[in-house]
Amino acid sequence: MSEKNLVGNKIRQLREAREMSVEELAEASHSSVELIQQLENGAFIPSLTPLLQIARALGVRLGTFLDDATQNSPVVVRSGKSEQIVRFSGNCPTPQRSILEFSALASNKIDRHMEPFLIDVHPLGCADINPSAHEGEEFIYVLKGQIEILYGKEQYKLNAGDSIYYDSVVPHHVHASGDSDAQILAVVYTPL
């Protein structure tokens, strides 16, 4: 089973457990029926915002899409090498490759309120930059490379060692600046 299908299968399982149709989930998450079908079929992984909206519509945390078994004890990830990696295509209309690779740093931790990720950020795969918004807050710390963050009408360029904390309700977009890869530590909080 591919990494893409892990998320799609989890969405399908949660939707079916709640006896929701694809149409009902699309309406509840302000998504299209086509997006839900593509996700469940493993066609692609969209940007983070639609997944957050789907998680909210299903009444689960974003991390639920990555979790297999929950645990109450601490979760340890050695050297940032998580076994749970999800690749996001960003918001290009016809994504050809992943521009964000999320390594979950708290997979399987039950009742968590934050979602920490180590994210490899690749240069944009298209010229389109479409900021998106969702409830919650985000903290980003740049580990290597340079990141550009569009936040409302502002633009921030961050280098290794820089950080930013912002409200996710303001339209935003995170991408590598220029043609080089970057890596960030991101902590995402979304209220249920």
How does pLDDT run across 46-80, given as a tens digit for each residue?
667 788 888 889 988 777 776 555 555 666 666 66
Query: Is-contact 168 134, C-beta < 8 A?
Result: yes
* Domain range annotation of the chain: 3-65, 78-189
CATH of 3-65, one of 1.10.260.40, 2.40.50.100, 2.60.40.10, 1.10.3720.10: 1.10.260.40
How does pLDDT run across 97-116, given as a tens digit for each residue?
567 777 778 877 777 788 89
Among 73, 89, 75, smallest CA distance to 3 is for 89
Task: In whole angstroms, give the CA distance from residue 172 to residue 149.
Answer: 7
Q: Report the first-to-last Cα separation within the chain, whole angstroms.
A: 29
Q: Which CATH architecture has domain 78-189?
A: Sandwich (2.60)
How does pLDDT run across 11-59, given as a tens digit for each residue?
888 889 899 999 999 999 888 888 888 888 876 666 677 888 888 899 8
Task: In whole angstroms, give the CA distance from residue 107 to residue 124.
Answer: 27
Could you tell me the pTM of the whole model?
0.67
What are φ and ψ of residue 166, in 5° steps? Answer: -145, 160
Q: Is the pLDDT of residue 89 over 60?
A: no
Contacting residues for 124 by C-beta, under 8 A, at least 6 apart: 90, 92, 99, 175, 176
